[in-house]
A = this chain, B = another copy of it.
Amino acid sequence: MEFPRYSGIRTFMRLPHVTDLSDEVDIAIVGVPFDTGGTYRVGARFGPGGIRDQSMLLRPYNPALDVVLFEHASCVDYGDLTSAPGYLPESHGMITEGAAEVLAHDSVTPIFLGGDHSISLPLLRAVHAKHGPVGLVHFDSHSDLWHSYFDGKDTHGTPFRRALEEGLIDPQRSCQIGLRGSLYDKADYQMTVEEGMLMVDGPQLHKQGIPKTLEQIIAKAGEGPLYLTFDIDFVDPTFAPGTGTPEVGGFNSAQCQQLLRGLTPLARQIVAYDMVEVMPAYDPADTTSLLAANLVYEMMSLTAWSKKNA
């Protein structure tokens, strides 16, 4: 309360900027400003900056989960991982390496701020190196399971196919929630189902509601480590216009909060989170970044909740 909320250097929530992690850190915010994998709009490289800018209003107590963030979890802003814009495979290598350094500290649950969705692949590689195959909790309007785009290339539409091929994900404990929009082909959703993942597409989620969906996700997740990935285009483009491939017919901000808050039964299993595809250049009222910052806050709260209720 000594400094007005709009002042100071803009780390996430004005957390200390700590690049030298130790085992006393519980939660690390880690930017991954890489967007060379984008196939339509681009600019998610400015996502971490935009999210940090709009995190200024966040305060430590989350009444919905009854948890005081900094009381139960030591939190830092690690800054950004590096990458080489324009060079996807090389950058993926750099991102895996950078993430591995963060994950080297056992106490740390990282929350990665994208960047486009292609970053989930190198991040999962680093997570897999430490934890083995993880269950995926995936909120998105697209399955991102495409084989390839443009003659065999990896993009932000392909990370989870690669992750499945490489065995980084355990499909039997994974789910994809909110898929919708037009597709190239009738076969586009088949892989999700054939691999054994739970799919709740957008219209179904609208119809069955959030409580039932939460039950399904939790039942599916089983025991073992989880990776939660949130593509901001899960949200309706009115609530999140600042993204790369917007799909109408999505979800609102209260529904997103309700979904994340409902994951407390899984909180202690989540070993890493990402929040991707935030694109400030398409966000005239900064509402996308504001929502993303609030959802990152819910991620932090989940981990803090698991510490409090350990």
Chain A residues close to B by CB (< 8 Å): 1-11, 17, 31, 33, 35-43, 45-46, 48-49, 52-53, 56-64, 66, 68, 77, 79-80, 82-88, 90, 149-151, 153-155, 180-186, 188-189, 201-203, 206, 236-239, 241-242, 245-250, 252-254, 257-258, 281-287, 290-291, 294, 297
Contact = CB atoms under 8 A, between A and B. Distances in A.
A53 B49 contact: yes
B35 A42 contact: yes
B38 A182 contact: no
Given A41-B281, A87-B150, A203-B64, A10 B10 contact: yes
B257 A185 contact: no
A10 B87 contact: no
A240 to B, nearest CB: 9
A309 to B, nearest CB: 16
Copies per complex of this chain: 6
Given A4-B83, A206-B258, 17 more contacts: A1-B149, A5-B39, A7-B31, A9-B11, A10-B49, A39-B85, A43-B281, A57-B182, A57-B245, A59-B184, A63-B188, A84-B149, A84-B150, A241-B285, A248-B290, A250-B253, A252-B252
B2 A63 contact: no
Given A182-B297, A254-B249, A281-B282, A77 B9 contact: yes
A284 to B, nearest CB: 4
B46 A6 contact: yes
15 contacts: A2-B82, A4-B82, A7-B48, A7-B79, A8-B31, A8-B80, A9-B77, A41-B281, A42-B42, A60-B183, A85-B150, A86-B86, A237-B253, A248-B254, A248-B257
Contacts of A4: 33, 39-40, 45, 82-85, 150
A63 B60 CA distance: 42
A7 B33 contact: yes
Given A58-B182, A184-B60, A238-B238, A1 B206 contact: no
A186 B238 contact: no
Q: Which residue among A3, A6, A40 has the maximum number of chain B CB atoms within 10 Å of its CB?
A: A6
A249 B241 contact: no
A80 B56 CA distance: 14
A90 to B, nearest CB: 8
Contacts of A88: 86-87
A288 to B, nearest CB: 9
Contacts of A150: 1-2, 4, 84-85, 87
Q: Which residue among A43, A48, A90 has the maximum number of chain B CB atoms within 10 Å of its CB?
A: A43
Contacts of A239: 236, 238
